[in-house]
Amino acid sequence: MYNNKIHAHFIMSEIKILGLISSDYTMSDRSYQIEISMNAVDFSDIFFFRVNSLQEIKDGDTSYCVDWNNWPDISFSEGIVLENMKNIPIHLQDISYNVKLFGPNWLSHNITNSNSKSDDIFANHDDLIEQYVNLDSCMDPSGMKQLIQNNLANAGSMSYPLSNSDTTINNITRDILLHFLNSEDPNILFRLNEMMQVNNGEWIPILFEAGDIIQFDIIYDSRVFAWQNYVVDDQDYLVKIHLK
């Protein structure tokens, strides 16, 4: 009997809005993809910028912040797993797996190096599934939502915003805004202009629409379940949230 308890840490290496750009996007090198569908309104009032004109964005006089409290609940455990840098093992291609089922099978494949599935070798298979569900959001800091919010807390606030001089990974709003600004699609620039119509020196929320895709990476940390002499993978995913 294998007594695994899976925990997670979160690495927000990038947020990219697919559909807003096409030429300079680099595919994440995470092992697998997770496909999730959510409403565009779920991501309202999270990312803000303050500027007087488009020219000021280009010239660098822009403030950026995030309201991390508005980050929504996301059911990562229900996301559908697709191939990315790795192929899904042949013995797991018979059905479409979500994360809470694929994760334990990924672990069992690492440990046994065989075609045995999780429910064949783990007496606590159901507990493992429930652990993935619990990790979507929980009161302690190990929940995915809580870990994302901790990252967003470093992305500037209305009292202490970031600026264009901050080009680190923390400045997520700047990254999103540059996708709007640098797009060759006139419809994307029109959307940016529409957002700025309400501008009177106030904070402007970035508005998402149906068809946008929010993307970032998550990792379930293998160090907490790579016990004894087993070598197991960090369970790393490229998350694509399709907005409707």
DSSP per-residue string spanning 109-177: HHHH-SS--HHHH-TTHHHHHHHHHHHTS-SSTTSHHHHHHHHHTTS--SSS-EETT--STT-HHHHHH
Tell me: pLDDT of 128 over 80. yes
pLDDT in tens, 197-241: 876 778 999 999 999 988 888 888 766 555 556 777 888 898 999
pLDDT at 226: 52
Pair 103, 128: CB distance under 8 Å: yes
Residue 155 pLDDT grade (very low, low, confident, very high; cuts 50, 70, 90): very high
Note the pLDDT of residue 117. 86
Percentage of the residues of the chain whose pLDDT score is greater than 70: 83
The predicted pLDDT at position 73 comes to: 96
User: Which pLDDT belongs to residue 239?
Assistant: 92
Contact residues for 168 (Cβ-Cβ < 8 A; gap 6+): none
Asked if residue 26 has pLDDT above 70, the reply is no
Question: Which pLDDT does position 161 carry in this prediction?
Answer: 96
Task: Supply the mean pLDDT for the chain.
Answer: 82
Which pLDDT tens digit goes with each residue over 102-119? Answer: 988 988 888 888 888 888
- Structure tokens given for 142: 């190990």
